Amino acid sequence: MHAMTQSGQPSNKTTTDRIAHLRDRIDRIDQQVLELINQRLRVGKEIGDIKADRGTQVADEARENLLIQRLLKLNTGPLTEGMLREIYRTVIAASRELQRHQRVAFLGPEATFSHIAARHHFGPGVKLVPHTSIEDIFSDVEKEACDYGVVPVENSIEGSVNRTLDLLFETRLVICAEKYQNISHDLLSISGKLEDIKAIYSHDQALAQCRKWLRRHCPEAALKESSSTAEAARKAAENPAAAAIASREAGTLYQLKIVSPRIEDYPRNVTRFLVIGRDQPSPTGNDKTSLMFVTSHIPGALHHALQPIADAGLNMVKLESRPMKHENWSYFFFVDLEGHRTDRTVRETMDRMMPMCLYLKCAGSYPKGEKP
């Protein structure tokens, strides 16, 4: 029997004893959790040693995806899906860190949306290396100065990032994963007051995504392009009469105040980022395959090249054309299909497309990213 007060409630002493007992249980559980995490990391390191001997990459997106899906099915709560994903993202990142300190290139500086996407995808424990251009990212990953690169490929409002498509066509790198990132733009300045702003810095895409808001609220302000939203925040931090359109993280980094939050014209603003590298991820059952191909200059050539996709009943989720740099009025095409290159239907479709194309490249098969 618990000791009761005259009001029928447990006494303070009883409550204190119960809390102390529960905390002792937590301490014992934490000790067990710690031992199991270390045991898991030791096994992971053994796997890393084997991969190092074989000369293969540490990261296996397909395996990690399957691991999370299996745990979600086993989970009975109260751990939520979001909590589970966050915990295991950290555990997996720690395992990678012990296996080999990975270097991941992103479009910098720190606090750009590319940086945020890279951090969310890889978690802590990897070395995130800022680069000033998409070209530099591809170059460093090709030269193996970095293991992976994170590059934007399309925005739900502004469309494709053409330089990324061009470099995928021109290099031997492939897509290893994709990451969808919500994009929210804040107007930031030193004072946080709209009336102080005479100039507004941002990346050209961010300026375009906030065009209506700027026209309505800052019609007199000079709009100035910068290499990134984070670079815009750095410039605004040096000028009391300037503001930046950037992420909230950039505002925190450069100690700027929010003049107005979420000023993008369309609230459903999402950018798709690609993780580029040299890996060929294994199938997960929920994959996407990207193809790049060139057709002859004859009537119906594109139709004939795409016909095998329709005949196979594959879902084509993207089709884009880009001019080829070495020949005027010639184009290559970029296609995203549902399925993995090792799936029989996808493999046979590629085989049937080959005779219809002057050139065909599989730019990667990888797990589908989760759309927000």
Among candidates 253, 252, 254, which has minimal Cα distance to 242? 254
Share of the chain above pLDDT 70, in %: 91
What confidence tens digit (pLDDT) does each residue in 78-137 have?
A: 999 889 888 888 888 877 766 666 789 999 889 999 999 999 888 876 889 999 899 999
pLDDT of residue 1: 44
Phi and psi torsions of 332, nearest 5°: -110, 155
The answer to whether the beta carbons of residues 138 and 171 sit under 8 Å apart is yes
Enter the DSSP assignment of 370.
P
The answer to whether the beta carbons of residues 295 and 283 sit under 8 Å apart is no
The answer to whether the beta carbons of residues 344 and 350 sit under 8 Å apart is no
Q: Name beta bridge partners: 180.
A: 272
Q: Model confidence at 62, in pLDDT bands (50, 70, 90)?
A: confident
Q: Would the pTM of this model clear 0.75, i.e. be above it? A: no
Residue 265 has pLDDT above 80, yes or no: yes
| 3-state SS class at 195 | helix
Distance CA 246, CA 184 (A): 8
SS3 content of the chain, % helix, strand, coil (to 5): 45, 25, 30
Residue 266 has pLDDT above 70, yes or no: yes
Q: Compute the Cα dihedral for 206, 207, 208, 211 and give only its sign.
A: positive
Helix and strand totals (H; E) in the chain: 12, 15
Q: How many CB atoms lie within 10 A of CB 77?
A: 8
pLDDT of residue 45: 73
Residue 279 has pLDDT above 90, yes or no: no
pLDDT of residue 200: 97
E strands present in the chain: 103-107, 127-131, 148-155, 159-160, 174-182, 186-189, 199-202, 222-225, 242-246, 257-260, 270-277, 287-294, 316-323, 331-338, 359-367
pLDDT of residue 280: 83
pLDDT of residue 137: 96
Q: How would you list the strands of the sheet with 316-323, edge to edge?
A: 316-323, 331-338, 287-294, 359-367
All domains of the chain, ordered by start, with CATH?
17-99 (1.20.59.10), 186-268 (3.40.190.10), 280-372 (3.30.70.260)
Tell me the average pLDDT across 56-77: 79
Residue 2 has pLDDT above 60, yes or no: no
The answer to whether the beta carbons of residues 225 and 207 sit under 8 Å apart is yes
Share of the chain above pLDDT 90, in %: 58
Q: Model confidence at 205, in pLDDT bands (50, 70, 90)?
A: confident
Residue 244 has pLDDT above 60, yes or no: yes
Residue 6 has pLDDT above 60, yes or no: no
* C-alpha distance across the termini of the chain, in Å: 52
Question: Which tokens is 113 given?
Answer: 């949306």
Distance CA 142, CA 49 (A): 23
Who has greater pLDDT, 258 or 35?
Answer: 258
Residue 7 has pLDDT above 80, yes or no: no
pLDDT of residue 341: 95
What confidence tens digit (pLDDT) does each residue in 301-340 have?
A: 999 999 999 999 999 999 999 988 777 667 899 999 999 9
What confidence tens digit (pLDDT) does each residue in 9-22 have?
A: 556 768 888 888 89
pLDDT of residue 100: 62
Who has greater pLDDT, 8 or 358?
Answer: 358
Q: Model confidence at 53, in pLDDT bands (50, 70, 90)?
A: low
What confidence tens digit (pLDDT) does each residue in 174-195 have?
A: 999 999 999 899 999 999 999 9
Residue type, 7: S
Residue type, 40: R
Question: Which tokens is 134 given?
Answer: 């998409």
Distance CA 108, CA 137 (A): 10
Residue type, 160: S
Q: How does the average pLDDT of the chain come out, rounded?
A: 89
CA atoms lying within 13 Å on the CB side of residue 246: 39
DSSP per residue over 37-100, as a string? HHHHHHHHHHHHHHHHHHT--S--HHHHHHHHHHHHHH--SSS-HHHHHHHHHHHHHHHHHHH-
| 3-state SS class at 129 | strand
pLDDT of residue 248: 93
